[in-house]
Structure 1
Amino acid sequence: MVGSIDLYAGDLNTEKVEPLPEDFDPTAVIKELVPPVVEAENEEKDKKREIVLGRNVHTMCLAVTEPESDDEVTGEREASMASVLARYRKSLIERTKHHLGYPYNLDFDYGALAQLQHFSINNLGDPFIESNYGVHSRQFEVGVLDWFARLWELEKNEYWGYITNCGTEGNLHGILVGREVFPDGILYTSCETHYSVFKAARMYRMECVKVDTLVSGEIDCEDFKLKLLCNKDKPAIINVNIGTTVKGAVDDLDLVIQKLEETGFTHDRFYIHCDGALFGLMMPFVKRAPKVSFKKPIGSVSVSGHKFVGCPMPCGVQITRLEHINALSRNVEYLASRDATIMGSRNGHAPIFLWYTLNRKGYRGFRKEVQKCLRNAHYLKDRLKDAGIGAMLNELSSTVVFERPQDEEFVRRWQLACQGNIAHVVVMPNVTIEKLDVFLNELVQKRATWFQDGKLQPHCIAADVGKENCLCALHK
């Protein structure tokens, strides 16, 4: 160690190193612990913070305040924080009761894993190589990856993957692998694709071609073929949606591959990433669904772990072919491992939660939950139409699309996801018939007040869901 310091100092012999002052005290501390509040200039004080889309969280944030000097004696601090947390827990229970618009499975119980919360579990580096950091959960992570590789028909010695921090990271990684395989490739994806794919195109400075969609939200393969023909000289990197964000539409993977072959793209000139955030785990259990399999010429698949599986923290699974990963891998001496992931530190608790659920439910358990979700989704769609509310449900989906409620407070209460004149409910394993009935009854009662004087009319959603699914005055 001394030798390395001497060598380093020799490299800097042209610089004079200033000695520490004689009165330097390494034990000294700053007397004023709390920094002053930052004040804006006078002319800026009266300006309101701009609020975009959502509400400004500063109006409801919980400030961090300094403990009193005698707090260790009185214990008031702990009591105050306990009160805040109790109120927060109560609000979580209430908000969970009225959660319908986002694809999260809130039906889980991980009480058995509470014993692990005292450990900082970090899966640094490559999941398949143990690093110097010993407090990890790679043994759980690889077990989960093996389960998904089997689901998507890829041999253990032919895949590489890792547990991501969210579905977006899975898309970022899948498209990055495609870009590394084809540095001059063009990214093709439908205009109803999740925003993370367009984010990836911006981050990687990739040329991105948006493909039209059918009314269902599925990629229009005829338009896809036309756009491929315009760029036959460059490789194609394709994002295929196994369930779009708003309408839950599933792109036909087989038809996408067929159009590539028809336009002269051999298998060594295209890379397909399948974004299966929600439905990637549901489709294997639906008979009529196009099969997502590595026996087909695809490059990667990603799913979210906090969606259909159900985890208390965002996470996901990313699987790709082992042959592709060397283009990304870099040895990291600091870790005594290599790395080909997007993030450095990765949540080591997430693989344990996923492993626990996969072991409890297995393939049979997930098949049962898929059947329940599809059945309840059809129930919701039929009830909406019976009430005179325009609605659509894609055949392979549990996402029910309907006309956007007029009252934004109602939208916030039920945490509905909206786009233009439509909203949707994603029927997950925790969404029961009883919960749907409460929602429907409230919606019907609200509509009676919204449209009672005739000044307001229900939205026309024919352009979004097709004339046959719109029940506005024009299309009834």
Structure 2
Amino acid sequence: MVGSFDVLADNLSINGATESFPADFDVSAVIKEPVPPVVGDNGIVNGDDQISAAKEKRQIVLGRNIHTMCLEVTEPDIDDEVTGDREASMASVLAKYRRALTERTKHHLGYPYNLDFEYGALSQLQHFSINNLGDPFIESNYGVHSRQFEVGVLDWFARLWELEKNEYWGYITNCGTEGNLHGVLVGREVFPDGILYASRESHYSIFKAARMYRMECVKIETLCSGEIDCDDFKAKLLCHQDKPAIINVNIGTTVKGAVDDLDLVIKTLEDTGFSHDRFYIHCDGALFGLMMPFVKRAPKVSFKKPIGSVSVSGHKFVGCPMPCGVQITRLEYVNALSRNVEYLASRDATIMGSRNGHAPIFLWYTLNRKGYRGFQKEVQKCLRNAHYFKDRLLDAGIGAMLNELSSTVVFERPHDEEFIRRWQLACQGNIAHVVVMPNITIEKLDDFLNELLQKRVTWFEDGSYQPYCIASDVGEKNCLCALHK
């Protein structure tokens, strides 16, 4: 059998705690040494100088080159006899890959994916090419679709966000980014000369949309929590009162889990002289858009307020095994995007052409199994475990922050990139975060923290390095560096 299959066995070894880098992988090309602390004459670490030095020296740590570990496609020889050898070898590759996935799932904390799901009942549908191309509400000539499931899911979300069936339009997207691209596009079509406003901590897809659509984009400052700074928002609105406003509101920012105050954003627009017919609000609720309705005292995202669209991800809190999302907007807005497509015998106003027809079935299945009450229990569990983890970090002397409406715990960035990679942490500057999802148990959080504490002993034992100062990221009260604790 061709040797390329044997390569996988080495690359997917799970005997050790972490996967080793390939022999030809140049670690120094992407990983910089931690920045030593800047110590003042009084012996105290100068936090501001350390932050400045870190920002100057640290480069983004890129992952390894997949070409060093890819699986070559090997063509069978033209005169190969039909035997089971090739199938057996491929089965062995897949078995090793499954074991690797199992291992990586055990050490997954930094990204907002709910990995606790069971869809065995849907395996029977994998034999079909299910494609929901075109408008979800109009059947095309392609009959192998799941629109009946898709529209059922859309109706559920429309009820959640208080929009009547005859007043909304939406579809199941291929990811959260597509929902944002569509939301911003609808806003641009409603206001072709509008200016896009987004906080600096908005998801990168919002700024991608601005580049793709050649829109003028104004970045708004944020508070330490990550929430949009409405004072800065007001000041920048006043500079552009002659043009309509298209605003991205974050229902949970990517890094800090901050929830923008939708009501305050609307009030700021009104106070600045923008009537409801001169602004469009897109709500990016990728993760927390589905969690917030089940949190007591949380502000409500509702189409009874003057918003234009809401998007959430289906592979995050819901726990769909493939990337997908839900995008809902007002029916009156989408007509500007819709075009008849004779080839489909349908209309289309989506971003993509072909759309995954399996995703709506997975979403429908989960919504039916869990319902409002099931999601409420899972949200309460996530918030409870997040508070537990934040308290344990602080008790251990590690600077940390948790926004009131979030399950994203922000803390000091670990000093070891291999440790970061092992636990699949998401990092930005001097901070990292753990997103507590339904599959993240107290036991897993304890295992992570115990390993982190052991590593910190080796990182800081000789005094060469100190914990990163995160005061500029999360506020001085949440920072426990030598200067602020």
Query: Which of 305, 316, 330 is the matching residue for 1:321?
Result: 330
Give the CA deviation at 1:67. Answer: 1.8
Residues in 2 aligned to 1:426 and 1:73: alpha-carbon distance in whole angstroms? 49
Query: Which of 265, 270, 277 is the matching residue for 1:268?
Result: 277
Residues in 2 aligned to 1:461 and 1:60: alpha-carbon distance in whole angstroms? 36
SS for the counterpart of 2:317 is helix
Amino acid at match of 1:198: F
Structure 2: 5+ residue stretches without partners: 1-23, 31-60
Query: Which of 215, 218, 222 is the matching residue for 1:206?
Result: 215
Partner of 1:128: 137
Give the CA deviation at 1:386. Answer: 0.8
Aligned residues: percent identity? 89
Q: Does 1:217 align with 2:226?
A: yes
Amino acid at match of 1:365: G
Residues in 1 aligned to 2:125 and 2:79: alpha-carbon distance in whole angstroms? 33
Q: Does 1:56 align with 2:65?
A: yes
Q: Does 1:405 align with 2:409?
A: no
- In the TM superposition, 1:187-206 aligns within 5 A as 187-206=196-215
SS for the counterpart of 2:440 is coil
Amino acid at match of 1:324: Y
Residues in 1 aligned to 2:260 and 2:81: alpha-carbon distance in whole angstroms? 60
SS for the counterpart of 2:82 is helix
Q: Does 1:161 align with 2:207?
A: no
Partner of 1:364: 373
Partner of 1:79: 88
Give the CA deviation at 1:53. Answer: 1.8
Deviations 1:269-293 (A, max 9, x none): 0000000000000010112211100
Partner of 2:306: 297
Give the CA deviation at 1:71. Answer: 4.3
Partner of 1:88: 97
Counterparts in 2 of 1:84 and 1:179: CA distance versus 1, 3 Å = same
Give the CA deviation at 1:72. Answer: 3.9
Residues in 2 aligned to 1:185 and 1:112: alpha-carbon distance in whole angstroms? 47
Partner of 2:349: 340
Please report the RMSD computed on the Cα atoms of aligned residues, expressed in angstroms: 1.5
Q: Does 1:453 align with 2:462?
A: yes
- In the TM superposition, 1:96-111 aligns within 5 A as 96-111=105-120
| TM-score, structure 2 as length reference | 0.87
Give the CA deviation at 1:75. Answer: 2.0
Give the CA deviation at 1:74. Answer: 3.2
Moved more, 69-78 or 282-291: 69-78
Q: Does 1:380 align with 2:389?
A: yes
Q: Is the 8 A contact 1:248 1:397 kept in 2?
A: yes
Deviations 1:196-235 (A, max 9, x none): 0000000000000000000000000000000000000000
Q: Is the 8 A contact 1:225 1:260 kept in 2?
A: yes
Give the CA deviation at 1:94. Answer: 0.1
Deviations 1:401-438 (A, max 9, x none): 00000000000000000000000000000000011011
Amino acid at match of 1:176: L
Partner of 1:176: 185
Partner of 2:399: 390
Partner of 2:423: 414
Query: Which of 244, 247, 250 is the matching residue for 2:256?
Result: 247
Amino acid at match of 1:58: H
Q: Is the 8 A contact 1:71 1:77 kept in 2?
A: no
Partner of 1:21: none
Q: Is the 8 A contact 1:373 1:429 kept in 2?
A: yes
Amino acid at match of 2:204: Y
Residues in 1 aligned to 2:387 and 2:442: alpha-carbon distance in whole angstroms? 11
Residues in 1 aligned to 2:173 and 2:367: alpha-carbon distance in whole angstroms? 17
Give the CA deviation at 1:68. Answer: 3.7
Partner of 1:5: none
Deviations 1:85-121 (A, max 9, x none): 0000000000000000000000000000000000000
Deviations 1:132-155 (A, max 9, x none): 000000000000000000000000
Residues in 1 aligned to 2:462 and 2:482: alpha-carbon distance in whole angstroms? 15
Deviations 1:149-196 (A, max 9, x none): 000000000000000000000000000000000000000000000000
Partner of 2:473: 464
Q: Is the 8 A contact 1:212 1:223 kept in 2?
A: yes
Residues in 1 aligned to 2:83 and 2:279: alpha-carbon distance in whole angstroms? 67
Residues in 1 aligned to 2:307 and 2:180: alpha-carbon distance in whole angstroms? 14
Partner of 1:116: 125
Give the CA deviation at 1:73. Answer: 3.4
Residues in 1 aligned to 2:403 and 2:83: alpha-carbon distance in whole angstroms? 60
Residues in 2 aligned to 1:449 and 1:367: alpha-carbon distance in whole angstroms? 41
Q: Does 1:434 align with 2:416?
A: no
Residues in 2 aligned to 1:372 and 1:218: alpha-carbon distance in whole angstroms? 24
Give the CA deviation at 1:54. Answer: 1.7
Partner of 2:7: none
Deviations 1:346-382 (A, max 9, x none): 0000000000000000000000000000000001100
Amino acid at match of 1:213: T
SS for the counterpart of 1:163 is strand
Moved more, 230-239 or 63-72: 63-72
Partner of 2:452: 443
Partner of 1:232: 241
Residues in 1 aligned to 2:107 and 2:80: alpha-carbon distance in whole angstroms? 39
Residues in 1 aligned to 2:122 and 2:299: alpha-carbon distance in whole angstroms? 36
Counterparts in 2 of 1:475 and 1:62: CA distance versus 1, 3 Å = same
Give the CA deviation at 1:55. Answer: 1.0
SS for the counterpart of 1:308 is coil
Partner of 2:266: 257
Query: Which of 345, 351, 354 is the matching residue for 2:360?
Result: 351
Residues in 2 aligned to 1:246 and 1:70: alpha-carbon distance in whole angstroms? 55
Amino acid at match of 2:305: K
Partner of 1:15: none
Give the CA deviation at 1:69. Answer: 4.5
